Every structure is written in C-alpha cells, then in structure tokens.
Amino acid sequence: MINRNPQLNENGVLQHLLTTEGLPVSVLLQILDTAESFVGVTERDVKKIPLLRGKSIFNLFFESSTRTRTTFEIAAKRLSADVINLNVAVSAQTKGETLLDTVDNLSAMNADMFVVRHMQSGAAHLIANHVQSDIHVINAGDGRHAHPTQALLDMFTIRRYKRDFHNLRVAIIGDILHSRVARSQIHALTTLGVPEVRVIAPKTLLPRMVERLGVHIYHDMAKGLKNIDVLMMLRLQKERMQTANLPSFEEYFKYYGLTPEKLSLARPDAIVMHPGPMNRGVEIDSGVADGKQSVILPQVKFGIAVRMAVMSILAGNQA
C-alpha cells in the first residue's frame, strides 16, 4: 500500500494541510510570509480581497468549537469565498450517515475546500485520502493528533516577537498527552530550527516516548522555565480529573499554573502564549494572561491572517 502523507502531492506541492509533521521548512515559511501580507490586508479599511471569489469552503465541524470555526469563517470571507458552516456533530452522524457519506454529499455540492474538525485522530487524513483531487482539506483539529493552523499562527507570533527561531528556548506547558496543539507545535518548532523545545507536565499528562519527537522533558516548572524565551501554555480540560490524570485543579495550578512568580523564572523578555480558551486560575493566572508579556490577543489576530494564507495557498495549488 502507498502510505504517503497525502498532504503533499508527488511533486511535494501542498494539497491539504493535515499536520505540521513532515512539512518542509520552505512550505512553513511560505505560509508565514504569505500571512504577513494578509496582516497588511486586515489592517486596511476594506479587509476583503477577491482572491477566492466563487470558491465554496465548507466548515465541517464534527466537534463543536465556535471560536475556531469563527476564525476560519472570517478568514474565508475576507478572501471572498462562500462559506458554509456545518455542525455535523448534531445532524447527519446521529442518523447513521458515515463520515465519508457526509463528505461525498458535500463534495457533490461543488465544495472546493473542507475545513474539518473531528474528535478522532486521523479523520482529516481519511477525508483527504477520499476526496477528488481538486478538493483541498484543512485540518482544524483531529482528536489528539494535530491542529496545524494553530501551530502555524503560534510560529507566526513567535517570529513577530522573536524574529529568529535559531536561538530560542521554547517550553510547552500542560496537558501534552491529550493535546493536538502541542503535537503540531513541537513539529513546527523543531522543523523551523528551534534548538531547544521543552515540555513541562506531570507524568500523567505526557505521552510515552515524547522525547522521540525531539523535546526535553521536565516535571518541575522552576527547572523547566529557566532561560526560556517562549512559554506556550495548553488548555487543561475538566475531564482530566475524572480520567484520573490529575487530583484537582487547585493542585495543578499550584505546581503547573503560570503565575507572575513562575514567569519570573523565565527570561525577562519571554513571551507567553495560549491557544485559548483560557482557564484562568487553572493553567494561567490573570496577572500573566493580561500582563505585558502576554501575546495571547495578537495570536488571535494573526490566526486570521495565517488561515487566509493557508486557504489561498491551497486553493492556488492544483493537483
């Protein structure tokens, strides 16, 4: 069986964006550079450009997420595409229609692009392998696997504030085990040449052999944050108490929550990022979230430009 990552075609041209893993540096940089131009567009009076006029983009969300869906919707609309939002979590799937049935039906409505979110790892790959070659798929989060546009907007933000990836120490803090964001961040950071990526978490929130992804493991914030330039916080989900990964929010916050005191252990010019939505008082203290080292709101703004860049690059790449 051919087991090629379907996001690149035989000539190495990006057809789908499914994961940051295995993406060449040139493609990552092309996306970041193109996003720079789109930041210019989003700062104008008229924030819309006609690039994707006549294209139909389907937001196919099998797992509800108003925030992520909205940023993709805004990005698509600013590119003048027609956007169709489908919250499949509550419609077809419960009636016994399979994932690929749904995709086939929408493809028949002349979809040009699918933005897919699904609770199962690999769902976006499955769809990308299934659709006709002229349809592009963007993974907006699949299970614990990948969330490439989030990681790309994080890279964009880091480049904005730190310019160069080659002299940075980056720490990813929190629930790495269940996080698609963390996995995508790790691949993007290591590909872009960040020399030291650390993960900081209790053992119950780290996947086995995570060091094979090219990261250093820390269980102690005081040690892990030393000399860090960029702190990437992860959202902690409530069900981690029920699944016996953690005893309580309180204990987690005490040992792994980012407070101004803990932040002071990192470099003085370190920036703090969070993919949102934040749990204040659980993984991050308000004093940090709203503090001067926080770049959480710029992340949101850059998220739109990055998604515009991904959509326009994909739409322009023919099979």
Partner 1 sequence: MKIHIKNGRLVDPKNAVDTVQDVFIAAGKVVAIGTAPGDFHANRVIDANSLVVCPGFVDLSVRLREPGLEYKATLESEMNAAVAGGVTSFACPPDTDPPLDEPGLVEMLKHRAKNLNQANVYPIGALTQGLQGKRLTEMAELNDAGCVVFGQPDGLLPDLRVLMQAMNYAATFNFSVWLRPQEINLTNHGVAHDGEVATRLGLPTVPVCAETIALSNIILLAQETGVRVHICRVSSAEGIMMISAAKQQGLPITCDVTINHIHLSEMDIGFFDSNCHMMPPLRSANDREALRKGLFDGVIDAICSDHAPVDEDAKLLPFGQSEMGAMGVELLLPLTLKWGMEMNLPMIEILAKITYEPAQILGVAAGHLSVGSAADLCIFDPEYYWQVTPSAILSQGKNTPFLGMELPGGIRYTLVNGHVVYGKSV
Partner 2 sequence: MNSIQLPDAEELFKHLVTEIQPDIIKGFTLVGIRTGGVWLAERLHREFEFSQPMGMLDVSFYRDDFDKIGLHSRVKRSEIPFSVDDAHILLVDDVLQTGRTIRAAINELFDYGRPASISLIVLVDRGGRELPIAAQYVGATLELPAGKKLELRRSSDDKLSLSLNDKTLTV
- Does the protein bind partner 2 through residue 44 (CB under 8 A)? yes
Residue with smaller CB distance to partner 1, 215 or 308: 215
> Among partner 1, partner 2, none, what binds residue 183 when CB lies within 5 to 8 Å by partner kind?
partner 1
Dihedral, CA atoms, 96, 137, 64, 78, nearest 10 degrees?
-140
Q: Would you count residue 7 as binding partner 2 (CB under 8 A)?
A: no
Q: Let me know: does 175 contact 236? Beta carbons within 8 Å.
A: yes
Binding site for partner 1 (CB under 8 A): 1-6, 21, 98-100, 118, 120-123, 125-126, 130, 142-146, 180, 183, 207-210, 212-213
Selected range binding partner 2 among 145-153, 169-177, 213-221, 309-317, rule: CB under 8 A: 309-317
207 binds, among partner 2, partner 1, none (CB under 5 to 8 A by kind): partner 1
Least distance to partner 1, CB of residue 47, Å: 35
Nearer to partner 2, 157 or 294 (CB): 157
Q: What residue spans of the chain are helical by DSSP H?
A: 25-42, 66-78, 99-107, 123-130, 148-162, 180-191, 221-224, 239-242, 249-256, 260-263, 286-289, 296-316
Least distance CB 102 / partner 1 (angstroms): 12
> Which lies closer to partner 1 via its Cβ, residue 122 or residue 291?
122
Alpha carbons within 13 A on the beta-carbon side of 319: 12
Return the structure tokens found at 100: 């690929």
Question: What distance in Å separates the CA atoms of residue 72 and residue 83, rounded to the nearest whole number?
Answer: 9
Phi, then psi, of 27 in degrees rounded to 5:
-70, -45
Among partner 1, partner 2, none, partner that 44 touches (CB below 5 to 8 angstroms by kind): partner 2
